[in-house]
Structure 1
Amino acid sequence: MHVRQLDADSILRLWEAGTGATPPRRALLLVAAATPAHEASTLADMPVGWNVGRLMELRHALFGPQLACTAVCASCGETVELGVDLPAIKQASESLPAVEVFGRLTVACNGYELVAQRLTLADLLAVESATEEPAAALALRSIVTARRAETPVEPADLPAEIWRAVEERLIAADPLADLRLEIACPHCGHRWLEALDMVSVLWNEIAALAKSLLFDVAAISRSFGWSEAAILALSPARRRAYLELALR
């Protein structure tokens, strides 16, 4: 799917709109920024993993395909550096067998039969105001129907092993929704899975870029008296050249 190009002004507007927003709302803002306007109205109703894939595409377009990460080994305490190939992760997830975007899953386990559906950004937004714990509220929203021996069962009354079976099926059907990196510590050999939060990663990079743009605007404006709009309309190469002149 085509990723919409973001100019300097769009980056600043995106940063301004997302400052102070919750992670789900930032995710929706980021995905909407990358999506052509005529497709944006259905984004909240798409599965979480689909939207994470769009965040990967936006990150690729803005900052390149390789992501440099660090993690701390729980065994020896050393910092581990690793490079993440976002297109490779996205391609691997798309090659897995999965239900269609709006398809539902049937889960049979220990005499229970459930119909579940993949979570969406709309679900994440909805549980922000839920009275119960967010993870529990999301789990309940994933269950469409639950039965045992043809008798309806309230989702809240399902045993823990049934919830685990549902969770495993949902992750298998929407792997990018729970993105984890397998890391091996080069110092002690300890291996573990580390969550990769694409919303936080991309947002931090966009915030840093926005602040860099604001610095450029302030410096160039002081030297030449130009407006923010005029400075942001410059190509990156020209803006850098004028910034060098302004800082001499």
Structure 2
Amino acid sequence: MTPAMNAVTAERLLRAWEAALDERSVRRGAALLAGCLARSTDSVAAWSLTERDAGLFDLRAELFGTEATGLASCPACGDELEVTLDLSALRPGSAGPADRQAPEDQAVAARTPNSDDLLAAAEQPDEEAALAVLVARCVEPGAVPRQLARQALSARLAEVDIQLQLDCGSCGAAFQVPFDIAAFLLREVDAWARRLLRDVHVLASAYGWTERAILGMDARRRHLYIDLIEAGA
């Protein structure tokens, strides 16, 4: 079960963002979540992607709410669509990091990969080698035909493969686009962090306040002070 998400302070989120920047791309989502939960990145990287993504959806709801907007390009006509998402409807169910069982219609037991599994796969020279590593790490060892092992892994990967069903308003084409909550939230937090650091610079330069004091203010008060500075008051 994903731990409950308590209020995340600006300082904690900023530290989590910095920690995520220091990680390889496939572990950044785990690092961001770990920092906000006051856990180690290694511990969260061991969670299944299902559980990690559930935690990231919860974190996004805590930080920015459950509604989000984004852009998608129609593959048929090239027009850009503005998409409004209800992220609460996309949140996956939570599965434990050690979960390993066979679906009813399969005889091969496999677990959903975690961030460290993806890191091991990313270090391989090609897709075939990466897939072999995932199978070796995530499928129950034994005398299993390669095709069945890969099917078992694919069934687990499908649990975290979110595809948005979209219709182009210009040409009427129906198409799918993938949605990655880790990449999406990291972009949002990156933009937030850079705005916040600009605010810290402006307020520290104008008033001589410390970073800690500025981060301890709520956003409304920071913005009011910045409005006064920009107005020349």
Q: Which residue of 2 aligns with 1:200?
A: 183
Q: Which residue of 1 aligns with 2:44?
A: 43
Which protein has the larger Cα radius of gyration, Structure 1 or Structure 2?
1
Residue 20 of structure 1 deviates from its aligned partner by: 4.8
RMSD across aligned positions (CA): 2.8
Residue 166 (structure 1) aligned with residue 143 (structure 2): no
Q: Which residue of 1 aligns with 2:215?
A: 232
Alignment: residue pair count: 227
Amino acid at match of 2:175: W
- Describe the SS at the equivalent of 1:231: helix
CA contact (8 A) 2:16 2:33 kept: no
Residue 245 of structure 1 deviates from its aligned partner by: 1.6
- Describe the SS at the equivalent of 1:182: strand
User: Which of 16, 41, 45 is 1:14 aligned to?
Assistant: 16
Residue 213 of structure 1 deviates from its aligned partner by: 0.8
Residue 142 (structure 1) aligned with residue 138 (structure 2): yes
- Describe the SS at the equivalent of 2:5: coil
Amino acid at match of 2:108: L
Q: Which residue of 2 aligns with 1:183?
A: 166
User: Which of 99, 103, 122 is 2:116 aligned to?
Assistant: 122
CA–CA distance in 1 between the matches of 2:96 and 2:42? Answer: 19
- Describe the SS at the equivalent of 2:50: helix
After superposition, the C-alpha distances for 1:84-115 in whole angstroms (9 at most, x for unaligned) are 1111222xx43xxx976633233699xx9432
Written as runs of structure 1 = structure 2, the 5 A alignment for 1:48-127 is: 48-90=49-91, 93-94=92-93, 102-106=98-102, 113-127=107-121
Residue 129 of structure 1 deviates from its aligned partner by: 3.5
CA contact (8 A) 2:70 2:84 kept: yes
User: Which of 29, 32, 46 is 1:30 aligned to?
Assistant: 32
Amino acid at match of 1:57: D
After superposition, the C-alpha distances for 1:153-195 in whole angstroms (9 at most, x for unaligned) are 4x6xx24xx36632443245xx2x2122111222222222211
Q: TM-score, normalised by structure 1?
A: 0.79
CA contact (8 A) 1:108 1:114 kept: no
Residue 31 of structure 1 deviates from its aligned partner by: 1.7
User: Which of 223, 230, 233 is 1:247 aligned to?
Assistant: 230
Structure 1 unaligned spans of 5+: 147-151
- Describe the SS at the equivalent of 1:192: strand
Deviation >6 Å, runs of 4+: none
CA contact (8 A) 2:48 2:112 kept: yes
Question: Greater CA deviation, 2-11 or 56-65?
Answer: 2-11
CA contact (8 A) 1:184 1:191 kept: yes
Q: TM-score, normalised by structure 2?
A: 0.84
CA contact (8 A) 1:99 1:105 kept: no
Structure 2 unaligned spans of 5+: none
- Describe the SS at the equivalent of 1:104: coil
